[in-house]
Amino acid sequence: MKLSSIITAAAVLMLSAFGAEAENSRVINIRTEKSSLVFSVNPDGMLVCDHYGAAIGDASSFSLRKNYIRGDHGTPYAAYPAMGGRSFGEPALAVTHRNGDLNTELKYVSHTTETLQDNNISETTISLADSIQGLETDLVFTAYWKQNIITAHTVIRNREKGDITLRSFYSSALPIKAEKYLLTHLYGAWAREAQVDRTVLTHGTKSIESRKGVRTTHTESPAFMVSLDTDRFDENNGDVIAGALAWSGNFKLNFEVDEFNILTILAGANPYASEYRLKKGESFTTPEMIWTFSAEGAGGASRNLHRWARDYWMHSGSGTVPSLLNSWEGAYFNFDAKTLTDMIDDAASMGLEMFVLDDGWFGNKYPRNNDKAGLGDWDVNKEKLPEGIDYLASYAHEKGLRFGIWIEPEMVNPKSETAEKHPDWIVKGASYETTLIRNQWLLDMSLPAVQDFVFNVFDRTMSLSDKIDYIKWDANRHVENAGSNGLPDDRQSEFWIRYVQGFYNVMERIRKKYPDVMVQACASGGGRVEYGALKYFDEFWTSDNTEALSRTKIQYGTSLFFPANVIGSHVSAVPNHQTGNITPLKFRFDIACSGRLGMELQPKHMTDDEKAFARKAIESYKGYRDIIMNGDLWRIGSPYDDCGYYGMMYVSEDKSKAVLFTYSIKYQSRTVIPQFRLRGLDPERSYHFKEINVDKPRFWFDGKTLPGDLLEAKGVNIPLRGIYESAVFIIEAE
Ligand code: DGJ
């Protein structure tokens, strides 16, 4: 990046007559518009973290501040705690030095701050070193002023006389002090992703981690919020710190509350079974940790993350988001070209903008007619599709639709030519047989040959037609019996890190060659919903569970950390294929339209009335989706609330337009009239309401104009009385 200015705050700490004084006055205030992350150097030369929270203009008095903690009680507040000396907590860094010493003592060396190109970003690098061992670390913080985001990663350099082993290498550490800490995080399973868990942190340690690799976010997520000084989750009020790790492999978040009631959060690649050798002169760069602070409750933290993700992180933040029909639940493996062109016709007639051909189009020696064979052999199945992919893509384009296609390049069925040819490419420990998950094995992305293969799968698929606009990248298993043929016996533990490095290497190559193709990250649904993947992908397939009621929680949980323009959200058939539940078509649309709208069913099984409804809903979606994709999300309650109703609003940046979604997910009885206080509007302006996806006006305020302050203070009452009732409104400033 081009630098507009460089401020070197300190080169090397000078030990002069004023040495101690200079050390004490070393305060580093990393600022965004509404937050400060403050570090200072203590009298021992150690870097401590003094504050992460509301913005502080002049933080210099932190140099005077005493923490009244006896030295032999440990070293809380360490900015990057290393194992050794008087550090007793979980270490961010643990190293076996070349002489076998397990202790590390990091001292402040220098820091620099650079203001980057657009003046919205500043990058601060704080260098620490263990001068006795010859180990150096750079803590690198990138602050995004307007978005109130600070990202952090660490570079660890081996300047010792020989090899060292990293045993823990977290990206970032954050010590904070509050009266109470309410942790909000996500848990789940296949088809039940992104469920919200809340717990007040007590003394001791809570960790959230993945040890499965590849599909790392089904059961846990590397994203969380901590509400400070409260045990109540509040959408709109109070101090909240949110964090999200950008890493597509095993991760660990460690929350440790010590005897001083200080909470230290560590976030990074999971040290579990992952010792990593650093040769003399080599360095290791950790994944990026994303932090945000909000004084406006959880909603403020989400909006900070959403804006930043769109503006700076995700592959194409403001790109087009075509509504689509995906073939999976409508056709599964059973199709020929006519099945697909009929689906394309139906998709076009309903106004959808893209058709995605899912699994089942490839494999000849072992045709992919079910999930038992063919995975890994990426040539078009001649029996099923003698016309080829270009025929289908051209057909879609002629009908005005874009065309997408499914791949799962990291995996193979044992029954595939690729697996037969390359048994050494399979992830496998030395002594045991590898296990099957969904009848498939995992290719070892740490191997350069596999990286080439995976790149080529993408590349060759793209070459099947020049009209491929979208790739759905699936990954339907995780790691078991970990091990790599490419690593020596005493470095097998590096597999976990090297797999992810290999994956990123391939994604870099793909994005270089195909910057504009839309790519969806799917891993049996929401198995790869994290910021590491989002750097390369445009969309997540949030869950294989397409049922609308289940989706209320899955999409709500995802929205805590990710913007709507990455939340793939499809209308499917009833009874739902996963849950058997039957919900009205309007409810299914009203849920799916709050994210990236798609359909995933066989349209020929829809009635004419259903198609007519779909056509109308899709048309109206196209009219307001820009507000969803680029506006701010304001949640009104949640699907977890006992009342059984909740809402959400997306508001354009200039507050001139909004869309309000309201849902009832339980029978309310006759006396309960849900009330929704609107958020995010301008209290000084008045707003006109129009309900959509209905034939005629249903509520008193439809077609009326109401003042913004009234809408915020009082809101509107919407008698959604039955389960699965919903109402969606377009709101426009006069
Ligand atoms: C799992 C995905 O999540 C589904 O959407 C579908 O693509 C299947 N795999 C295909 O095998």
Q: How far is CA 446 from CA 271, 422, 454, in A?
A: 18, 15, 11
Question: Is pLDDT above 80 for 5?
Answer: no
pLDDT tens digits along 463-498:
999 999 999 999 999 999 999 999 999 999 999 999
Q: At a CB cut-off of 8 Å and minimum separation 6, what does 463 contact?
A: none
Q: Is 328 in the pocket of ligand 1 (CB under 6 A)?
A: yes
Looking at the CA of residue 358, tell me the nearest atom of ligand 1.
Answer: 7
Tokens describing residue 458: 């993408």
Q: 84-88, 121-125, 475-479 — which is least confidently predicted? A: 84-88
**Would the CB of 358 count as within 6 Å of ligand 1?**
yes
Q: Of the residues 215, 332, 335, 358, which should be mutated to test ligand 1's pocket, given the most ligand atoms within 8 Å of the CB?
A: 358
Ligand 1 atom with minimal separation from the 600 CA: 5
Flag whether pLDDT at 6 surpasses 80.
no
Q: 530 in ligand 1 pocket by Cβ < 6 Å?
A: no
Spatial CA neighbour of 250 closest among 653, 561, 576, 528:
528
Mean pLDDT to the nearest integer, 704-725:
97
Task: Using most ligand atoms within 8 A of CB, pick from 524, 540, 542, 546 the residue to mutate for ligand 1.
Answer: 524
Whole-number pLDDT of residue 25: 55
Ligand 1, atom 1: closest residue by C-alpha: 524
371 CA: nearest ligand 1 atom: 11
Ligand 1 centroid–CA 95 distance in Å is 41
**Quick one: angle between helices 608-630 and 337-350, nearest 10?**
70
CA 225, CA 103: separation in Å to the nearest integer?
32
Cα–chain center distance at 156: 25
Angle between helices 448-462 and 495-513 (to 10 degrees): 30
Q: Can you state the angle between helices 388-398 and 337-350, rounded to 10 degrees?
A: 20
Ligand 1 pocket residue status of 522, Cβ below 6 Å: yes
Is residue 377 in contact with ligand 1, taking CB distance under 6 Å?
no
Residue 329 Cβ inside 6 Å of ligand 1? The answer reads: no
Instruction: Give the global pTM.
Output: 0.96
pLDDT for position 11: 35
The pLDDT value given to residue 15: 31
**How far, in Å, from the CA of 412 to the mean position of ligand 1?**
15
CB count, 10 Å around CB of 70? 7
Calculate how far, in angstroms, residue 522's C-alpha sits from the geometric centre of ligand 1: 8
**Atom 9 of ligand 1: nearest residue by CA position:** 524
- C-beta of 547 in contact with ligand 1 (< 6 A): no
Q: What's the pLDDT at 316?
A: 84
Q: pLDDT for 257-292, tens place per residue?
A: 999 999 999 999 999 999 999 999 999 999 999 999
Gap from CA of 610 to ligand 1 centroid (Å): 25
Of 190, 328, 572, 596, the one to substitute when testing ligand 1's pocket (max ligand atoms within 8 A of C-beta) is 328
Residue of 324, 335, 359 to mutate, ligand 1, most atoms within 8 A of C-beta: 359
Atom of ligand 1 nearest to the CA of 544: 3
Summarised one tens digit per residue, pLDDT across range 361-390 is: 999 999 999 999 999 999 999 999 999 999
Task: Reply yes or no on whether the pLDDT at 635 is more than 90.
Answer: yes
**Helices 585-592 and 548-559, packing angle to 10 deg:** 10
Tell me if 220 CB under 6 Å of ligand 1: no
* pLDDT in the model for residue 660: 98
Mean pLDDT of the chain, nearest integer: 95
545's enclosing H/E stretch is none
Atom nearest to 522 CA in ligand 1: 3
Ligand 1 centroid to Cα of residue 524, in Å, is 6
Buried b (16+ CB within 10 A) or exposed e, 321-357: bbbbbbbbbbbbbebebebbbebbbbbbebbbbbbbb
Residue 525 alpha carbon to ligand 1 centre in Å: 7
Is the pLDDT at 1 greater than 50? The verdict is: no
Name the residues annotated as catalytic: 474, 544
324-326/539-541 β-pairing? unpaired
Q: Is 644 exposed, middle or buried (0-12, 13-18, 19+ CB in 10 A)?
A: middle
Ligand 1 centre to CA of 111 (Å) is 48
Q: 245, 267 in Cβ contact below 8 A?
A: yes
* Rounded CA separation 472/485 (Å): 29
* Of residues 470, 181, 533, the one with CA closest to residue 326: 470
Confidence of residue 66 (pLDDT cuts 50, 70, 90): confident
Q: Is the CB of 525 under 6 A from ligand 1?
A: yes
Mutational pocket test of ligand 1: of 407, 471, 474, 547, the residue with most ligand atoms within 8 Å of the beta carbon:
474
Asked if residue 238 has its Cβ within 6 Å of ligand 1, the reply is no
pLDDT score of 576 more than 80: yes
519-567 pLDDT per residue, tens: 999 999 999 999 999 999 999 999 999 999 999 999 999 999 999 999 9
476 CB under 6 A from ligand 1? yes
Residues in the chain: 734
**Ligand 1 pocket test target in 356, 473, 476 with most atoms within 8 Å of CB:** 476
pLDDT at 524 (0 to 100): 98
% residues pLDDT > 90 (the chain): 91
Instruction: Provide the pLDDT for residue 272.
Output: 97
pLDDT score of 551: 98
The reply to whether ligand 1 has any atom less than 6 angstroms from the CB of 474 is: yes
Residue 188: CB within 6 Å of ligand 1?
no
Q: Give, using CA atoms, the residue closest to atom 11 of ligand 1.
A: 359
Segment 5-13 shows an average pLDDT of 37
CA of 91 to the centre of ligand 1 (A): 39
Minimum-distance ligand 1 atom for the alpha carbon of 541? 3
Cβ of residue 573 lying under 6 Å from some atom of ligand 1: no
Task: State in Å: Cα 648 to ligand 1 middle.
Answer: 29
Asked if pLDDT for residue 304 goes beyond 90, the answer is yes
Q: How far is the CA of 701 from the centre of ligand 1 (A)?
A: 43
Whether residue 359 has its Cβ less than 6 Å from ligand 1 = yes
Q: Please, which pLDDT band fits residue 318 given cuts at 50, 70 and 90? A: low
Is 578 near ligand 1, meaning CB less than 6 Å away?
no
Evaluate: CB of 544 within 6 angstroms of ligand 1.
yes
pLDDT at 156 over 80: yes
